[in-house]
Each structure stands twice: as C-alpha cells, then as structure tokens.
Amino acid sequence: MPANLPPQYHEAEENFRLAKTIPEKVAALEEMLAVMPKHKGTDHLRAKLRTRIAKLSEASEKRLATKRASTVIPREGAAQVAVIGLPNSGKSQLVATITNASPPVADYPFTTHSATPGMMEFEDIKIQLIDTPPLAPQAIDFWLPPLLRRADALLIMVDLTDAPQAQMEAIIKQLADMRIIVGGGAKEDSEYISWHKKALIIGNKLDLDNAQNSYTALNNKYGKQLPLIAISAKQGTGLEELKLKLYQLLDIIRVYTKAPGKKPVFTDPVVLPRGSTLEDAAAGVHKDFRRKLKYARLWGSGKHDGIMVKRDHIMQDGDIIELHL
C-alpha cells in the first residue's frame, strides 16, 4: 500500500534536512510522524521515524548533560506540566509566584520568548511547571508543539477581563493545529496521530472588575469538558486550591516506605499513576526490587494495618509499604 504522504510531511522532511541542532531534528521528525496518515502503507516508515527519534534523543541527553537548551527540558519531579495561553494572560506571573523560576513578567504581551521551567511544591512532592511563549499563530516556534505533546498535562491560562470564551476557542484551535486534543468535546481526525492531554483551565485576574461574571460564563460553557478554577496570580488568590486541583488532574498517588522495625519515611514518596500495583511501587523504589519482591506489609488501604499483600495489590494515595525481598 503506498504511503500517500501529505504536503505537510514533505515540508517537515525539508525542515529536518535543514536542521542544524538535535532539538530541531527531533522536532522535525515528530512533526513528520504526527502528519503521517495512519494505515498499513506507513507502518514501516512510522517505525523508522520512531527509531531515529529515540537515537537522537539519546544522543541529545548525552550531549546536553552539562548544558540544557530551553527547547529540551528534562522531566523533573512528580510530573511535567506546560503553562499555555494567549499574550498577556498572566502565565509568567503565575509561574514566578508558585515556583522557584524567574520568567520575565510585564504588563505588555510577548515578554516570554523561551521555555522556563520551575518547581512547584505541593505538600511533600514537587511538580515541574514550564512557562511557554504565548500562543500566537505567527510566533509559534518549531519546538513548542513537541514540548506540549511531551508534557503530562497543560494549564490553560485565560484573562477573565478579555473575552475568556473567545480566548479558549482560539487556544483549542491552535492546539488542534498541533494535533493536541483537550476535553471530551474535541474532534479527532482519524487519519492522523493526535495527542490527548489532561488540562485545567485557569481564569486569571479574578481581582479585576466583572471577572467573576466572566468566569461563571466560562464555566457554563467548558465546565463539562474540563476542570476550571478562578485565581488572581498577582494577588495570590486561589493558588493553594490551584495546586490541589493540578495534583488531582494528574491522577497520581504517593506511596511511602518503611524498613522493618522502623518508622515510615514521609519525605520522599514514590509517585505513581493511579491504579498502580505493589509491583510498580517496588520498582519505583529500586528497579531490581520488581524481580526480587516476595511480598509487602501494608498500612493505609488494607483491611488491617501491617497486612501482607502481594504484587498485584492496587495501591492507594498515602499507603505505606514495608518491602520483603
């Protein structure tokens, strides 16, 4: 079966040929993979592209061990979350307020030109937030779509004082152009690969006039598709609730460990996707523990404290395990 590659594929292929850096090459290959039609005629080419991406990514990790480019941001903490929005929505203000990062913050648009990571603390874990350039069609850099596709979730910032529903429509359209889908109401083209992303809508500037009414209208339109929250990044309103909502959005759990005869360690939990098993938790402590694990004693979600559980036991947030190898 012929591949029948679209013009967008050949354009991305030309970008790959002209690319001078590994991040540029990886971005071009991911674009080729994304626009490629999904049928048997492209299976071999799709596998070949994935292999090239893997090899380039491995080479990138080695070459960038001491110097990281803003376009290739290694995942740190419990999750990597990209903060997106239109110009002047308050993204940088939020990231600067709730993380250790210092992105440029100003009252005029387009102050962010690169990706800036920062670590947000939530209780006993850290979540990586990435401040990104504003979503303006004429100013989207080649590396932004791959960065958003790799993220575990998206925080979508809208300005409650400036037609927030129209902002959401524009953002959803631009994400769709990148083949990124958020919310249950989005349409997917079955011919091409798409990335489904968890997302939280943040209505910013709640402290300004008429913002609450705008948020109510926004919630009425999008509340059934995506979770929402209203905040003021400048005044600090709603930021603790935002952290909790983001943690809930990621759908992850924390599992703690203890050695026999000792107290649990609550400073460095194993973070896992919800639905993970004891076997997954053991591997999270050390890769060899998955193979060596015999059983564990459990405090938390068991019927009794210290109950013995097997590899397939489903872990819950806050569980404490004592591994026996």
Nearest to residue 124, comparing CAs of 233, 300, 212, 254?
254
| pLDDT block averages, 10 residues each, the chain of length 325 | 77 89 86 83 86 81 47 86 94 91 58 78 95 82 87 96 94 91 67 85 94 95 95 94 96 94 90 95 91 91 85 94 92
| pLDDT recorded at residue 3 | 65
Nearest to residue 260, comparing CAs of 320, 323, 325?
323
What's the number of CA atoms in the CB half-sphere (13 Å) around residue 75?
Answer: 12
Domain ranges of the chain: 7-63, 80-250, 253-324
| pLDDT recorded at residue 114 | 75
Strand pairing report for 125-131 and 116-122: antiparallel
CATH number of 253-324: 3.10.20.30
| pLDDT recorded at residue 193 | 76
| pLDDT recorded at residue 189 | 61
User: What whole-number distance in Å separates Cα of residue 76 and Cα of residue 274?
Assistant: 19
| pLDDT recorded at residue 208 | 92
Residue 269 tokens read as 């939990």
User: What whole-number distance in Å separates Cα of residue 58 and Cα of residue 283?
Assistant: 22
The CATH fold assigned to 80-250 is Rossmann fold (3.40.50)
| pLDDT recorded at residue 8 | 86
User: What whole-number distance in Å separates Cα of residue 187 and Cα of residue 284?
Assistant: 36
User: What whole-number distance in Å separates Cα of residue 92 and Cα of residue 82?
Assistant: 12
User: What whole-number distance in Å separates Cα of residue 34 and Cα of residue 237?
Assistant: 39
| pLDDT recorded at residue 71 | 60
Contacts 24+ apart (CB under 8 A), 56-61: 56/22, 56/25, 56/26, 56/29, 57/26, 59/22, 60/22, 60/23, 60/26
